[in-house]
Amino acid sequence: MQNPDLPDQKGHFGPYGGIFVAETLIPALTELRDAYAGIREGKGFSREFAAEFAAELKHYVGRPSPIYHARRWSEELGGAQILLKREDLNHTGAHKVNNCIGQALLARRMGKKRVIAETGAGQHGVATATVAARFGMECVVYMGAEDIARQAANVYRMKLLGATLVPVMSGSRTLKDAMNEAMRDWVTNVGDTFYIIGTVAGPHPYPMMVRDFQTVIGIEAMIQMRDQFGRQPDVVLACVGGGSNAMGIFYPYLGEADVRLIGVEAGGDGIDTGRHAAPLSVGRAGVLHGNRTYLMQDEDGQIIETHSISAGLDYPGVGPEHAWLKDSGRVQYLSATDDEALAAFHALCRYEGIIPALESSHALAHAAKIAPTLPREQLLLVNLSGRGDKDIHTVAARSGITL
């Protein structure tokens, strides 16, 4: 299977993606689409932009992130070898910053002096506030009031970095409501404002653009696998909320038919309880936040509240390219429950001395599930998309401990 040349001109991945926004947003998206086309060349970035982006990723983010062989944990599991792509070692502690750097560079080229972002757990907000400080831009972050109450540390980080935080009181007061509010800001202030979306969702060109900025993960991984292991992995695993870390590592592998790709959604209390955030596993296609994709919705087409122990996966939609990759069968999508993710979280702490993000722990959980069933010479590459320092309060609370 070749690397599919998607999306098409209108932003469609098969029946998914597209531009489902009110007329007032169209000029902003058209301007962005044209500006983005200006930094593309063939299948990559223009030479000038590529050099600029690479320099930031190297000197500011600290790339390339290593691939680490989790030998003790693999030994304990007694099957395939687990390898970790260490996005947790990036500046700000997760893959999110790759995309923020890319969009901030684009914003600067477009002459925008103000960036806005939505955030759930606060990771994307922190990454955006970080790059805004780095590039001297004004930064406004929209965050649900519920999330603000749950994520005090990230809220303070954003303030330290000079961002203005706007609490969102509407709807369920979480990530999706913050996204609605950020869109409204963008419509009103499009002249000087760039909206940095944190995942591979939203109207075209965001799903494509965020994917392209995150593809550095997969491109590095291919080179590192060849150099360190002399071959590509048998399986690549990544967690999927909106799905940007997964698209970033999967995309270069789409054309490698021998490499199995597995996306792991948030199973919450269990898929059959209805309390989860796994639209690809049980959802149905619909339209939200500017694109058509799989959604968590009720029988009247209203978007329903989701549940996951990991705030970063707690989103009712998913990037449209994942919807397409699910239907095409190229990627297999499964889920891991809160408990399974927690068990993997603790295992990685104890066997490898790495505290993983709860998001990434979902991918680790599925790796731990299949590793014992596979021969020892098989290689499972897990995208360790973020570090778990931000999650220790959540994990402690689950064990009945107050820090």
Partner 1 sequence: MSRIASTFARLASQGRKALVPFITAGDPDAATTQELMHTLVAAGADIIELGVPFSDPMADGPTIQRASERALAKGMSLKKVLACVASFRARDQETPVVLMGYANPVEYWGLEEFARSARTAGVDGVLTVDYPPEEAGDYARALTAQEIDPIFLLAPTSTPERVALVAGMARGYVYYVSIKGVTGAGHLDVDAVARRVPEIRAAVGLPVAVGFGVRDAQSAQALASCCDAVIIGSRIIEEIEHSPPEQLHERILALIAPIRAGIDRAGG
- Give catalytic residues, as residue numbers: 96, 118, 385
| Per-position DSSP letters for 286-317, written without gaps between them | EEETEEEEEE-B-TTSPBPP---SSGGG--S-
Torsions phi, psi for 254 (to 5 deg): -60, -35
Q: 103, 130, 297, 385: which one contacts partner 1 (CB under 8 A)?
A: 297
Which contiguous run of DSSP H or E holds residue 24? none
What minimum distance in Å lies between the beta carbon of 301 and partner 1?
Answer: 3
Site residues for partner 1, 179-208, by CB under 8 A, read: 180, 183-184, 187-188, 190
What minimum distance in Å lies between the beta carbon of 171 and partner 1?
Answer: 7
Peptide bond just before 372 cis, omega within 30 deg: no
Using CB under 8 A as the binding rule, whether residue 268 contacts partner 1 is answered as no
Q: Which CB atom, from 62 or from 301, has the smaller least distance to partner 1?
A: 301
Q: Which CB atom, from 180 or from 224, has the smaller least distance to partner 1?
A: 180
Distance in angstroms (rounded) separating the CA atoms of residues 291 and 318:
10
Question: Residue 213 has which token pair?
Answer: 């900025």
Residue type for position 280: L
Q: 233, 263, 267, 290: which one contacts partner 1 (CB under 8 A)?
A: 290
Distance in angstroms (rounded) separating the CA atoms of residues 56 and 91:
11
Using CB under 8 A as the binding rule, whether residue 19 contacts partner 1 is answered as yes
- Tell me the number of residues near partner 1 by CB under 8 A: 36
Distance in angstroms (rounded) separating the CA atoms of residues 269 and 112:
43
Using CB under 8 A as the binding rule, whether residue 27 contacts partner 1 is answered as yes
Fill in the per-residue mask, 146 to 175: x = in contact with partner 1 (CB under 8 A), - = not in contact.
Answer: ------------------------xx----
Question: Do the bridges between strand 44-45 and strand 40-41 make them parallel or antiparallel, or are there none, so unpaired?
Answer: antiparallel
Q: Is the CB of residue 216 less than 8 Å from the CB of residue 248?
A: yes
Q: Could you give the angle at which helices 123-135 and 96-109 cross, rounded to 10 degrees?
A: 40
What minimum distance in Å lies between the beta carbon of 32 and partner 1?
Answer: 14
3-state per-residue secondary structure call for 140-193: EEEEEHHHHHHCHHHHHHHHHCCCEEEEECCCCCCHHHHHHHHHHHHHHCCCCE
Q: Which stretch binds partner 1 (CB under 8 A): 192-200, 227-235, 244-252, 293-301?
A: 293-301
Using CB under 8 A as the binding rule, whether residue 3 contacts partner 1 is answered as no
Q: Which CB atom, from 100 or from 295, has the smaller least distance to partner 1?
A: 295
Using CB under 8 A as the binding rule, whether residue 176 contacts partner 1 is answered as yes
Place of tokens 């889920």: 335
Q: 6, 7, 13, 21: which one contacts partner 1 (CB under 8 A)?
A: 21
Q: 302, 353, 400, 402: which one contacts partner 1 (CB under 8 A)?
A: 302
Q: Which CB atom, from 88 or from 177, has the smaller least distance to partner 1?
A: 177
Q: Which CB atom, from 303 or from 374, has the smaller least distance to partner 1?
A: 303
Q: Is the CB of residue 391 less than 8 Å from the CB of residue 358?
A: yes
Q: Is the CB of residue 241 less than 8 Å from the CB of residue 218?
A: no
Q: Which CB atom, from 189 or from 232, has the smaller least distance to partner 1?
A: 189
Task: Name the residues that contact partner 1, by CB under 8 A.
Answer: 10, 18-27, 170-171, 176-177, 180, 183-184, 187-188, 190, 284-290, 295, 297, 299-304
